[in-house]
């Protein structure tokens, strides 16, 4: 496969997507290529940005996996039983979304967490807003459900012959095509159709933030854009209303915590489980030093998404049960363990 031009093209496109924070953040997103009964898919917890430098694609036997899905075999959830071990020397697990890629009858599937798509897909009127922008595209909308096998069955139920674009409520975007170039072009077309401007936000007050973190385990985020989630009033209102997409829950927890004073931040820091991200309203955002690798990228993502949602737009935050479902899921615990190992 390393000599296959399509395989090389997928690695190149995957790395490009992984370096674009508007489409992929941290270990999020996944890509795949089906060849001769085998689906090569990004491994769980790996970064698309590393696709050209590391072997992050895992080979999965496609037909047995699809049959397992039809039979209700619980092994289809992780797809680990269908990996060609001899071509997986690192012992990596297939992506959580392996079955999502499997049910789409195209050679190439790209799944991204495009920030504009998420900003539309977290709205209560998402399907209506998407229809205004996706004219001429064969697309389907799937309301939020747990990623993985549950989501795969929901997608399969929505597919029509030729449907090659799926917008996932509170989650992201999937496009598919018969080759890598066509998939990349379709992704560009859909992302352009869904593109939303991000509101300008007041600059952070870095001196005040530095004072806040004295004596605590908190630090400033690596990307200054992350501060917009706290300096922009409307973005902060959304961020404090709850969590809206899976990777935010996995890397940052539920709704962003708020500290109006240094004493309030110190109190948060003394908790048994201090919040991963804290907003200081009007001043900026802070991250706990113990966050997973990828939390900085997700802090930027929060600002990018929130800054694209109009004030007072009807939204669908996750329920406590949905948050618990993600945080207690073995597949996500595994992904978190990889991120801890790399910090």
Q: Which domains does the chain have, with CATH numbers?
A: 5-194 (3.40.225.10), 206-342 (no CATH)
Residue 42 pLDDT: 98
Mean pLDDT of the region 49-64: 97
Residue 343 has pLDDT above 70, yes or no: no
Mean pLDDT of the region 8-21: 98
Round to whole Å and give the CA distance between 183 and 14.
11
Mean pLDDT of the region 20-29: 97
DSSP string, 150-181: HHHHHHHHH--TT--EEEETTTEEEEEESSHH
Round to whole Å and give the CA distance between 89 and 83.
11
Round to whole Å and give the CA distance between 108 and 41.
10
Residue 340 pLDDT: 52
Quick: pLDDT tens for 191-242: 999 999 999 999 999 999 999 999 999 999 999 999 999 999 999 999 999 9
Helices (H) and strands (E) in the chain, counts: 15, 11
Quick: pLDDT tens for 153-162: 999 999 999 9
Residue 338 has pLDDT above 80, yes or no: no
Round to whole Å and give the CA distance between 302 and 289.
18
Q: What is the separation of C-alpha 177 from the centre of its chain, rounded to a whole number of angstroms?
A: 21
Mean pLDDT of the region 269-286: 97
Q: Look at residue 41 and give its three-state secondary structure.
A: strand
Q: Is 328 exposed, middle or buried (0-12, 13-18, 19+ CB in 10 A)?
A: exposed
Residue 333 has pLDDT above 90, yes or no: no
Scanning the structure block, which residue is given the tokens 């595994």? 334
Closest to 119 in 3D by CA, of 229, 284, 257: 229
Residue 336 has pLDDT above 80, yes or no: no
Quick: pLDDT tens for 100-128: 999 999 999 999 999 999 999 999 999 99
Residue 337 pLDDT: 54
Residue 35 pLDDT: 96
Closest to 141 in 3D by CA, of 190, 82, 186: 190
Mean pLDDT of the region 7-24: 98
> pTM of the prediction?
0.95
Mean pLDDT of the region 75-89: 95
pLDDT band at 3 (very low <50, low <70, confident <90, very high): confident
Q: Which residues pair with 174 in a beta bridge?
A: 111, 166
The pLDDT mean for the chain works out to 95
Quick: pLDDT tens for 160-180: 999 999 999 999 999 999 999
């Amino acid at each position: 496969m390393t000599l296959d031009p399509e395989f090389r093209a997928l690695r190149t496109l995957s790395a490009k997507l992984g370096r674009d924070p508007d489409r992929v953040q941290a270990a999020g997103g996944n890509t795949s290529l089906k060849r001769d009964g085998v689906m090569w898919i990004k491994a769980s917890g790996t970064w698309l940005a590393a696709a050209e430098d590391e072997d992050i694609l895992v080979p999965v036997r496609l037909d047995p996996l699809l049959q397992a899905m039809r039979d209700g075999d619980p092994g289809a959830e992780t797809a680990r039983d269908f990996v060609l071990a001899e071509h997986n020397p690192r012992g990596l697990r297939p992506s959580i979304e392996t079955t999502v890629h499997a049910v789409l009858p195209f050679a190439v599937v790209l799944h991204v967490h495009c920030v504009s798509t998420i900003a539309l897909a977290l709205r209560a009127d998402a399907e209506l807003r998407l229809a205004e922008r996706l004219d001429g595209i064969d697309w389907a909308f799937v309301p939020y459900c747990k990623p993985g096998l549950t989501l795969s069955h929901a997608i399969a139920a929505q597919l029509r012959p030729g449907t090659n674009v799926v917008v996932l409520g509170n989650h992201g975007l999937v496009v598919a095509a018969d080759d890598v170039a066509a998939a990349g072009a379709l992704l560009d077309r859909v992302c352009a159709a869904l593109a939303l401007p991000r509101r300008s936000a007041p600059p952070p007050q870095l001196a005040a933030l530095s004072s806040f973190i004295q004596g605590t385990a908190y630090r400033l985020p690596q990307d200054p854009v992350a501060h917009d989630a706290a300096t922009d009033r409307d973005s902060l209102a959304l961020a404090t209303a709850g969590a809206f997409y899976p990777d935010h829950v996995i890397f940052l927890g539920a709704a962003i915590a708020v500290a109006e004073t240094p004493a309030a931040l110190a109190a948060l820091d003394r908790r048994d489980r201090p919040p991963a991200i804290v907003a200081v309203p009007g001043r900026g955002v802070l991250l706990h030093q113990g966050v997973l690798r990828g939390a900085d990228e997700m802090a930027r993502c929060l600002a990018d998404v929130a800054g694209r949602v109009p004030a007072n737009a009807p939204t669908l935050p996750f329920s406590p049960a949905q948050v618990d479902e993600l945080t207690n899921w073995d597949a996500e615990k595994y992904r978190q363990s990889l991120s801890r190992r790399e910090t």
